[in-house]
Structure 1
């Protein structure tokens, strides 16, 4: 026998002194009362207060059966609730509840059938019940109330103050009224189940929308710090009052911390909390280690004392208390590639909010996984970008130092692509003393475009070096080489030869579908060297390309550039070239490096690569 009851003290009102009574509930009885399926039905009916329908049924019992007490009782594993009653004394008439030790109806639940007892004092199951003295309950008749699954959730009962032989008609009437009561119970349970399903569907839809928005937001940036800030804004708006995200790009690295509160007025406090938390590594390590140790999200219904105890920094603890400490969850940030914990997301609700649910814990775990994917994507992106930068530096020429010629160049990758692209510049001296300069643009701004650009630049160098041919002839030969070697290039380019002449300098150039060169004269005037357009490089060979020759005075500056500097989808290319020419005229007094910076500011958008080469003729 398992003793699960407890002594119950009950101050009687109007009938005598306090009653102290032990009741022993056996294992079998307890297993029936604690059946989770049955308890779910009882709890769906709610903790009863005054209920007109059930009170009416209790009144019918009193009138039709002629019993002083009529009760609709619902029995859970610990108490009996008086869903309907008539004739009950205080405090039970108001409280609508009594301890399980005082319940006769629990025996109906256990037996699963109607019980008719002329005198409970003679029944071995009931003779020690405190209600005998407290309620003057002597005779008892109870019919089971069932849920939609046929499980007994309580009893409709009649109680008399003296021994009574219940008649067959009274028993039949009580049974019929219990069936009516069961119908009402089934209807209410069905309504509650439908409401639970509706809430679950809304919750699932809300959680799915949260995760969808989070995924889209994290995928829209490769900046991991910005990704974690976005995570905080989304989560605190829809799941928690505030959160702290701590993560490290690599295991053992210094942690990055961000903190967000759903109240925008607390932004300064949250920033301070994040700064303190980043320095107070011991506090953070405790949270991260808990996530790592469990390997899953951890939910605490009332974690204020535990969480506050982990915060050794006084100011940090004060900020956390001010933000509100109630229930909390910690979800690990796990790398999906390396399967290591990189950090944790701490979600906190204030004390006035309900505890986090099991469903929200699953959502928190998914948030941690998606945060881990964002951290990993950012790391891989940085690695790719580093490789691309190394590749780009290897492909772009280190500008030579030449007598009488000052060279300055810049390369900027597109902001929405890799760190490399198909834009390039080059300059090298010829054995005859002339200087070859070039700027070109292979379609695309990715690794493949950069690789093609490398081949094209090397072909230009190999074909031009040591030859006295004019740029037009060199580009014609380049067309044939690209076609014959099957190099998959579609590119624009300007190739120019700069040599000294009787008037200063002669610049001969050929243009394969490229924006026109600009020339800044010593007096500040700017020339735009428009010539009739010729096809792009890489197309099937056609007629020989032309060479244009311009004579310029010393002190002039030749500007070669790619279309990323002047192209705007909302304007004509001519407008962009004119804008660049005006900036060049305004900036004529600036030295080479500063002039490059000012010209780059003209770019309308950074959605394409930019290569810029300045050739200042100083000799």
Structure 2
């Protein structure tokens, strides 16, 4: 039996719903693993059987066959035969695919929404992929391509289907076809095969691709054709080659420079077989300032920085003890005669006599400038990346401080500067961020407000809008005017130099970065002043970007909020609504609520969620909300309005996936208040009794809008006792990224129960603020309480 050749078997078999397909002879040709688990029918028994042999009762079978033969989709609940068999959600649609006339899904009734979503995934599998996908039969003729292939290579689907690669692409097509023939011959997949050339018989532009080719098998193992995953790497490959060329040129120049330096400035020393020093090394002593006696034996290690000393000795002893001793090389910090530390590279080779190591000859090369230059570039890259990861001004400056401590500074502070006062010479503001290297005591901050006199380096930096290099003041420095506690703290940690850099926005200094060096860190130099200025420049760009982002986000949120009106005042009811935009990202979403009176006094309510977080989603939300208002009527049930909305919105292309709960709150002649509603794939409403006990309403859940507009919809109804509260919401209130124990729904009820006794406004505030969700999605909440 021929297996349909345009459904990747591996993907279908891993879907979390049952999937089946029927050919033109009403025989089952697809029956995935989840369908086996749901029905208890093994694939080997089911494949090839007729629809009449399916594990369903006769009335159900007749109804299914009639609907499908009429060319209409079928959806509903169907029982599986057997005393213990489950009731399944069943959905099938007629299709026109090679070898397939019907595709359907099976799912336990407790998760019909998942079934719809998975079915939609099957239909969108090819077109939604961000890479090109193509399928060829065994004659290597195009059988299917997705939109990404057309975006990458051009042309249309009709120009490909039924044609061979050579017919469509000429010489390049022949190269691709050779690879596919190899796949058909040995059944092995090929990954990331590079292809270069011009498509459309050499008429297209020069391009480069990476193609992964794999065989497609029938259940009996027969190869039905080949699949291709296509990625256009034209730009990235061109950039890679250019970067490699530039890197090679740079490496060559650096090697020449390094060779010149090592040939002219390296200090030479000689060590014994055991690695100790017995001979004088004047060049090394000139660097470290040690005497001959201080350097002898292992005394030369005393000049190595304490944090590098153990590593240096261990590496050196390991090289000396090695039977096949080779070149020893290590970069480390060495104390100089001036008292500071600089980076050196130690290199040594063994000198052999009669095949045995007689001594070691080594050099010490000053590489401090090169290391510091490399570290500066790394620091700038880390600081820029850290600032780009957040979108608020103070968060970016905090991220910058975290990136520079302790590599560049032992202490980093951020001062937010007040706008300049007319005639003022001092600087005021508040301390925003302080980062201190591990092992140093925290500074005595005191009042976060600061006042600096005109001679203070921060005041000079603000006044000149330029970086400043300064020494740390003494305790009696009148021009700095530090508090006694702050001055004693600076002296106690052995602080010796500071750098100050401005952060500008709109040409005005809005913040100042202060970097402090302490202990054995080399005092800051003019080179460091340049780096501080570059950090300030990058922080300024980040602040400008964050300010623009926040302004844009405020506009976007205002747009979303403007589409949502205040709930009306209705006698006998309290109505509260809340809208909370997503916590991150510059996005307006498609979540909405609505409550409006109907002729006759009934209240129409609704909560919906359009898929997406962008301006098109917000626009679709506004259209759907307006259309629903026009379609809602007291003389027609909510299900009729939802059905009409689905048909109109689908026909106009307003939505492809929208969930919605729409209903009427009505007071009967007896005084009883009822809620009648229709649900289109939306989370079930919650009803909170007057005593505070909540429960999910058990109404029927229909398919989402935009999927099957002709699907029948039904209404559900419940009495709202006095004092009870009806809660409608979007999934942003409850959804979680990971919920292995399926606790989100229960936790929502716990949250509702905890605050049910509060006034309705406070009740809604607590639900939004203490939400159990963690997806940073929009939250919409509509609550109606019966007085």
- Tell whether the structures are fold-level matches, with TM greater than 0.5: yes
Quick check: 1:474 aligned with 2:603? no
Deviation at 1:442, TM superposition (A): 1.7
C-alpha contact 1:427 1:435 (8 A) present in aligned 2: yes
CA distance in 2, matches of 1:587, 1:353: 56
Q: 1:558 corresponds to which residue?
A: 726
CA distance in 1, matches of 2:455, 2:543: 18
Deviation at 1:350, TM superposition (A): 3.2
Q: Which runs of 5+ in 1 are unaligned?
A: 1-37, 56-71, 73-80, 85-189
SS of 1:595's equivalent in the other structure is helix
2:437 is matched with which residue: 255, 262, 267?
Answer: 262
Q: 1:490 corresponds to which residue?
A: 657
2:388 is matched with which residue: 211, 219, 225?
Answer: 219
Quick check: 1:279 aligned with 2:450? yes
Quick check: 1:330 aligned with 2:500? yes
Q: 2:400 corresponds to which residue?
A: 231
Q: 1:591 corresponds to which residue?
A: 759
2:591 is matched with which residue: 423, 445, 467?
Answer: 423
Cα distance per residue 1:431-450 (max 9 Å; x no partner): 21100011111223444433
Greater per-residue strand proportion: 2
Q: Could you tell which deviates more after superposition, 531-540 or 554-563?
A: 531-540
Q: 1:244 corresponds to which residue?
A: 413
CA distance in 2, matches of 1:322, 1:53: 39
C-alpha contact 1:496 1:510 (8 A) present in aligned 2: yes
Deviation at 1:559, TM superposition (A): 1.1
Deviation at 1:280, TM superposition (A): 0.5
Once the two structures are superposed, the pairs formed by residues 383-398 of structure 1 within 5 Å of their partners are: 383-398=551-566
C-alpha contact 1:510 1:545 (8 A) present in aligned 2: yes
CA distance in 2, matches of 1:451, 1:526: 34
SS of 1:230's equivalent in the other structure is helix
Deviation at 1:577, TM superposition (A): 2.8
Q: 1:322 to 1:243 in 2, by over 3 A?
A: farther
Quick check: 1:434 aligned with 2:434? no
Q: 1:525 to 1:319 in 2, by over 3 A?
A: closer
CA distance in 2, matches of 1:394, 1:498: 25
Q: 2:302 corresponds to which residue?
A: none
CA distance in 1, matches of 2:662, 2:590: 16
C-alpha contact 2:502 2:533 (8 A) present in aligned 1: yes
SS of 1:384's equivalent in the other structure is helix
C-alpha contact 2:610 2:655 (8 A) present in aligned 1: no
Greater per-residue helix proportion: 1
- Please tell me the root mean square deviation across aligned C-alpha atoms, in Å: 4.0
Q: Which runs of 5+ in 2 are unaligned?
A: 1-259, 269-277, 284-288, 293-361, 422-426
Quick check: 1:580 aligned with 2:748? yes
Once the two structures are superposed, the pairs formed by residues 135-534 of structure 1 within 5 Å of their partners are: 191=363, 195-197=365-367, 199-248=368-417, 255-257=429-431, 258-263=433-438, 265-269=440-444, 271-272=445-446, 275=447, 278-282=449-453, 286-290=457-461, 293=464, 295=466, 297-300=467-470, 302=471, 304=473, 308=477, 310-315=479-484, 317-335=487-505, 338-350=506-518, 352-418=520-586, 420-464=588-632, 468-488=635-655, 490-501=657-668, 502=670, 504-534=672-702
CA distance in 2, matches of 1:405, 1:580: 24
Q: 1:616 corresponds to which residue?
A: 785
Q: Could you tell which deviates more after superposition, 594-603 or 573-582?
A: 573-582
Deviation at 1:454, TM superposition (A): 2.4
Deviation at 1:472, TM superposition (A): 0.9
Q: 1:267 to 1:225 in 2, by over 3 A?
A: farther
CA distance in 2, matches of 1:200, 1:244: 26
C-alpha contact 2:474 2:487 (8 A) present in aligned 1: no
CA distance in 1, matches of 2:281, 2:676: 103
Q: 1:231 to 1:525 in 2, by over 3 A?
A: closer
CA distance in 2, matches of 1:248, 1:261: 21
Q: Larger Cα Rg: Structure 1 or Structure 2?
A: 1
Q: 1:311 to 1:489 in 2, by over 3 A?
A: farther
C-alpha contact 2:699 2:717 (8 A) present in aligned 1: no
CA distance in 2, matches of 1:548, 1:54: 95
Once the two structures are superposed, the pairs formed by residues 122-133 of structure 1 within 5 Å of their partners are: none
Q: 1:286 to 1:350 in 2, by over 3 A?
A: closer
Q: 1:453 to 1:282 in 2, by over 3 A?
A: farther
Q: 1:283 to 1:251 in 2, by over 3 A?
A: closer
C-alpha contact 2:465 2:509 (8 A) present in aligned 1: no
C-alpha contact 1:342 1:372 (8 A) present in aligned 2: no
Q: How many residues align?
A: 438
CA distance in 2, matches of 1:348, 1:247: 17
SS of 1:378's equivalent in the other structure is helix
Q: 1:39 to 1:398 in 2, by over 3 A?
A: closer
CA distance in 2, matches of 1:40, 1:299: 32
CA distance in 1, matches of 2:490, 2:630: 67
C-alpha contact 1:236 1:260 (8 A) present in aligned 2: yes
C-alpha contact 1:566 1:573 (8 A) present in aligned 2: no
Cα distance per residue 1:235-284 (max 9 Å; x no partner): 23111232332244978896442333325553242x33xx46x4204369
Q: 1:475 to 1:282 in 2, by over 3 A?
A: farther
Relative contact order, CA 8 A, sep 6+: which one is greater? 1
Q: 1:127 corresponds to which residue?
A: none
TM-score normalised to structure 1 length: 0.61
C-alpha contact 1:428 1:437 (8 A) present in aligned 2: yes
SS of 2:441's equivalent in the other structure is helix
TM-score normalised to structure 2 length: 0.49
